Structure 1
Amino acid sequence: MTTLVLAAWFVRGELALSTELVGLEDGAVVSDVTAQATAVRVTASPADRVQGATLLLDGQPVGGQASRQGDELVWPVPPGLPEGPHRLTVVVPRWGPLGEASKTVSFTVDRQPPVVEVTAAPAPVAIDTPVVVAGRTEPGAVVRFGDLQASVAPDGRFELALPHPPAGLAGLVVTDAAGNAAAAPVRVPVAYPPSAGVHVTGAAWSYGPLRHGVLDLVDEGRVNVVELDLKDESGVVNYDTAVGLAHEIGAVERYFDLHEAVAELHDRGVRVVGRIVAYRDPVLAHAAWSRGWRDWVVQGPTGEPLEADGGFTNPAHPEVRRYNLDLALEAADAGVDDILWDYIRRPEGALDQMVFPGLTGTVEAAVVELLVEGHGPLRQRGVFQGASVFGVAASRPADVAQDVVLMGHHLDYVAPMVYPSHWRAGEYGVEDPDGQPYEIVAASVADFVRVLAGSGVAIVPWLQDFSLGNDYGADQVRAQIEAAASVGVGSFLLWDPSVTYTSEGIDPR
């Protein structure tokens, strides 16, 4: 009788034997990335019976890939499993004729990143307008943009609401159920306001007669934009900045109070463009060299500072970019409407005679890095970002490392300097550019229109209101404005280093 009771108890125990697979859900989809973070743990009840367990992958023992750790059998999912469906089975034998206890989970290995289709960017929108980015991808995926996240509907559609148009080529990141990720570049162009503007130096703004001449243009309705120099070609910061480095290196000249200047112009209904000369900076270059910060400076082939234009700072150095960006963000917080970068290029001359310490890619990419770093913070403040470029940059981007297409990914507008006096005879088939302002401006601006077509980047050419060869007056100024308009570009900025503009050449708007 005792033997029968013990036998019955043993049989019941064997029949009650069970096993579980923990760490891999039945029906799971994994990639190599998620597989590396996945370990399957096999348990049994009673716990000690896991010692006799066998783990099978697609019917074949996993062998030494699994290890016993206490009362568990642990199998790290190995990378490199063939794509497609798999079955993982654990088998725990029972006594004799009672068979075995088993558990099976099915899973799929998927290494293919999700396919993402983003709806074509809409027409340019206001810089401070919320936008919705929509598209289609795999059902079950998750769409992220920074801290924002959207789920994907069963039909694969998604919508992601953004508080304002994203800067640059914004990267949506789509992650599928397996953990595969794909980046989808998104560009939402912003509408740049029609602009008729003039350049004003810090010294000119501080001098009553010149300032009043500019304000007369405003009051007469001839211009709606005033470009004020924040940091100029000499490296001088023209206002009492709070950026510490500017004071440390002796760069500050207090020509005007930035808040007061912006408020005065805004009261007259004028937009304010803050011009920052980026890499041509003799003050910073000399100060950095004297302090032993030699990698801040563009150098010659034997390690001496390159004295081009009085001193060029190194676009590959993050602290050089930080200094310029600190000034830009300070100005944005003071109310300027745009930051217009100038001398955002390498020095002129043979590239093989220049050394950019720390440069790891191309000089063109290093030049653009400041635009990449600046576009997001400026966009968050509702401030446009533009860049002045050589007139030849549309056709010869390597001349001074101004790749207009690459730059355009991180700009709201490009300001090509197409001054007729600066062109060589025969450029664009124009025999005498300085004597034919209409022809050379129409041809050169049309080239920028061609290069930037479809990008959403506005074009605001710099035009000439000074004499360098031929005498320039109202007819020449008007001819340039009409030439740009003839190829679809209605905005412009006028340059006169003496800040004495030819009002008769600018029709009231």
Structure 2
Amino acid sequence: MAYRKRQRNTRKYWFLILLIALIICAPFVYKYLTNKDGDVNNFISSIIKPGESTVETLEVGFNDYLESPGVSYNLYSEAPKVKGLYVNASAVSSKERFNTLIDIANTTEVNAFVIDVKNDSGRITFDMDNPQSDEINAEVKYMKDINVVMDRLYENDIYPIARIVAFKDPWSSKKITDLAIKNKDGSLWMYDKVSWLNPYNKDTWDYVLNVAKKAAEVGFKEIQFDYIRFEATRSLNNADFGVDAENKTRMEVISEFVAYAMKELEPYNVKVSADVFGTIITSKVDAKAIGQDYLDMAEKLDVICPMVYPSHYGKGFFGIPRDKHSDLYPYETILGSMTASNEKYKELNGKKAAIVRPWLQAFTASYLRKPNYKSYGPEEIRAQIQATYDAGLEEWILWHAGSKYNKDALLKEQ
């Protein structure tokens, strides 16, 4: 009996403690539930909005606690009329240089940057968590935090284009030799001490496109393939491309890669562009040698970017005197090449085709022997832009390997 009496006393004791605790805590609980405004409905409505399901509300609530970019990556649902600059990855890695380039975009007509993602050496310029490139240590990580870079581009209304060098790749071709162009004795094929990936090998396609997909995932709105071709040399005639090369021309395999890339990248909602030699517009010999069929590629791509630098032509092109190099005539060279493009497009008979966006020369070609070149300043650059417009085109990109541009060549932002 004494034991049961002690039990009853103990229960009374703990009941009193619980009651006292509830009395003490009640004001704080009420204040929390009323959201500090004395209205329970305000608190509830802050969690569940009228007309929304509980599941949707919970998703919103959790997102409030997650880190999210400060800008909307849906900004470019439609691509602008690109007036762009090539920007190498080292320029992005330098705070001072990147700020200078952004200032150019903010104060002039420039609205796009073409940024190296996979460069001429085959190196990838940011950490993209790609097992295949990780395995061969292809990443250099010039851009230490790609999300910060993308945020800055979007915050400044700069359309982001990823430059991906496709088949010229001395790094990956040496690390994954099965993907490389070989000599007939099995050794690596090289030109000017540079080895290339084999465009006939579909595993090569997937390697390149995995990089492109990662670029799209971080926010690039256009994938631009460079060196989407074969090297321009007769020594390729002695190379071994494998059994797939027996029944396909170089132009056919490059066109097939373009079609495959378009299909693979379609779910990523990006534009796809490609750089091509300017000479293939009018030269069937050049087109066959490097594998670029201008019209066939144009029918598949969103944008085609002929590299029509005046320094890359010789003497006597486009009505230029036969004893004068085209580098001395920036306006005439661009107008002539883009007029030739317009004429070539007529063969499509109105079929939908890629936007033509030429690469223009923003560098001085001092490697040409005098008197075959001139200094390219604001006047020469502006002449090329005007020639582009006079040919009826609306887009262009400037190339300077060091990403150094003169603002005086560009119109002020309106």
Q: Does 1:462 align with 2:349?
A: no
Aligned to 2:141: 254
Correspondence 1:149-168 to 2 at 5 A: none
Aligned to 1:402: 292
Answer whether contact 2:213 2:265 (CA < 8 A) is retained.
yes
2:209 & 2:147 partners in 1: Cα distance? 18
2:189 & 2:318 partners in 1: Cα distance? 32
Residues 268/427 of structure 1: CA separation in 2 closer, same or farther (3 Å cut): same
Answer whether contact 2:108 2:407 (CA < 8 A) is retained.
no
Answer whether contact 1:367 1:402 (CA < 8 A) is retained.
yes
* Counterpart among 127, 139, 161 of residue 240 in structure 1: 127
SS at match of 2:152: helix
SS at match of 2:300: coil
Q: Does 1:306 align with 2:189?
A: yes
Residues 212/447 of structure 1: CA separation in 2 closer, same or farther (3 Å cut): same
Q: Does 1:507 align with 2:411?
A: yes
Aligned to 1:473: 377
* Counterpart among 214, 228, 241 of residue 356 in structure 1: 241
Answer whether contact 1:192 1:458 (CA < 8 A) is retained.
no
Percent identity for Structure 1 against Structure 2: 27
Aligned to 1:335: 219
* Counterpart among 445, 460, 464 of residue 338 in structure 2: 445
Q: Name the aligned partner's letter for residue 468 of structure 1.
A: A
2:78 & 2:128 partners in 1: Cα distance? 30
Structure having the higher strand fraction is 1
Q: Displacement, 1:203?
A: 0.9
Aligned to 2:22: none
Aligned to 1:421: 311
1:262 & 1:208 partners in 2: Cα distance? 14
Correspondence 1:117-266 to 2 at 5 A: 193-256=80-143, 257-266=145-154
Answer whether contact 2:166 2:226 (CA < 8 A) is retained.
yes
Q: Displacement, 1:450?
A: 2.2
SS at match of 1:240: coil
Q: Displacement, 1:302?
A: 4.5
1:428 & 1:300 partners in 2: Cα distance? 39
Answer whether contact 2:362 2:377 (CA < 8 A) is retained.
yes
Residues 260/369 of structure 1: CA separation in 2 closer, same or farther (3 Å cut): farther
Answer whether contact 2:250 2:289 (CA < 8 A) is retained.
no
Q: Displacement, 1:348?
A: 1.1
SS at match of 2:223: strand
Residues 399/429 of structure 1: CA separation in 2 closer, same or farther (3 Å cut): farther
* Counterpart among 197, 206, 212 of residue 322 in structure 1: 206
Aligned to 2:176: 288
1:480 & 1:441 partners in 2: Cα distance? 6
Q: Name the aligned partner's letter for residue 382 of structure 1.
A: N
What do residues 329-362 of structure 1 show as CA deviations (whole Å, max 9, x unaligned)?
Answer: 1111211110000000011112523331232411
2:130 & 2:252 partners in 1: Cα distance? 26
Residues 435/215 of structure 1: CA separation in 2 closer, same or farther (3 Å cut): same
Q: Displacement, 1:200?
A: 0.6
Moved over 4 A (4+): none
Q: Could you list the runs of 5+ residues in structure 2 that have no partner in the other structure?
A: 1-76, 367-373
SS at match of 1:241: coil
2:377 & 2:308 partners in 1: Cα distance? 17
1:192 & 1:482 partners in 2: Cα distance? 22
Q: Displacement, 1:214?
A: 0.8
1:253 & 1:471 partners in 2: Cα distance? 34
SS at match of 1:452: helix
Q: Displacement, 1:300?
A: 3.4
Q: Name the aligned partner's letter for residue 439 of structure 1.
A: E
Aligned to 2:17: none
Q: TM-score scaled by structure 1?
A: 0.60
2:176 & 2:301 partners in 1: Cα distance? 29
Answer whether contact 2:126 2:142 (CA < 8 A) is retained.
yes
Higher relative contact order (CA 8 A, sep 6+): 2
Answer whether contact 1:250 1:283 (CA < 8 A) is retained.
no
Larger Rg: 1
SS at match of 1:409: helix
Answer whether contact 1:462 1:495 (CA < 8 A) is retained.
yes
Q: Name the aligned partner's letter for residue 254 of structure 2.
A: V
Q: Does 1:488 align with 2:392?
A: yes
What do residues 145-172 of structure 1 show as CA deviations (whole Å, max 9, x unaligned)?
Answer: xxxxxxxxxxxxxxxxxxxxxxxxxxxx
2:238 & 2:202 partners in 1: Cα distance? 22
Q: Could you list the runs of 5+ residues in structure 1 that have no partner in the other structure?
A: 1-189
Answer whether contact 1:192 1:413 (CA < 8 A) is retained.
no
Q: Name the aligned partner's letter for residue 427 of structure 1.
A: F
1:311 & 1:218 partners in 2: Cα distance? 36
1:200 & 1:421 partners in 2: Cα distance? 20
Aligned to 2:72: none
Q: Displacement, 1:490?
A: 1.7
1:463 & 1:265 partners in 2: Cα distance? 22
Aligned to 1:380: 267
1:488 & 1:467 partners in 2: Cα distance? 26
2:279 & 2:130 partners in 1: Cα distance? 34
Structure having the higher helix fraction is 2
Answer whether contact 2:250 2:288 (CA < 8 A) is retained.
no
Q: Name the aligned partner's letter for residue 406 of structure 1.
A: D
